[in-house]
Amino acid sequence: MIQLTTAAKLDNAINKARTVKPRIAINKFGSYTVTNKATGATYTVTCEKRDGKRFASCTCVAAERDKACYHVAAAVSAHMQLAAERAALNF
Ligand SMILES: [Zn+2]
């Protein structure tokens, strides 16, 4: 479980996500399947808010060691876009 505080913490992961360009499928709001198109490996990323703090978790080995992986970076960007769209519709 990674706490998402500042974007700076995710910088390296965001850069890697931009290079790898994984495919992101939305399972439901807050749950995403990230696929590395080159290797076919898939990971599930969960984004959630608890007590006003944002957390993300991923099923890969790096995330198990509390490292911000590019799967989380990619899914968080999709999640934020989805959240913004939901907020915009919620008038
Ligand atoms: Zn991961």
Q: Residue 5 — very low, low, confident or very high, per pLDDT cuts 50/70/90?
A: confident
Give 3's pLDDT tier (boundaries 50, 70, 90). confident
Kindly give the distance from the C-alpha atom of residue 91 to the centroid of ligand 1, in angstroms, as a whole number: 34
Calculate how far, in angstroms, residue 28's C-alpha sits from the geometric centre of ligand 1: 18
Tokens standing for 16?
């890697």
pLDDT at residue 9, as a whole number: 73
Q: Report pLDDT for 8.
A: 65
**Ligand 1 centre distance from Cα of residue 81 (Å):** 19
Q: In the sheet where 23-28 sits, what is the strand order? A: 2-4, 53-58, 42-50, 31-35, 23-28
What is the secondary structure of 41-87 as a DSSP string?
A: -EEEEEEEEETTEEEEEESSHHHHTT---HHHHHHHHHHHHHHHHHH
Q: What is the pLDDT of residue 91?
A: 65
Which residues, 6+ apart, have CB-to-CB distance to 76 below 8 Å? 4, 10, 45, 47, 56
DSSP, res 7: G
pLDDT of residue 41: 97
Average pLDDT, the chain: 92
Ligand 1 centroid from CA 82, angstroms: 20
Q: How do residues 6-50 score in pLDDT, each as one tens digit?
A: 766 788 999 999 999 999 999 999 999 999 999 999 999 999 999
Ligand 1 centroid, distance to 58 Cα (angstroms) = 5
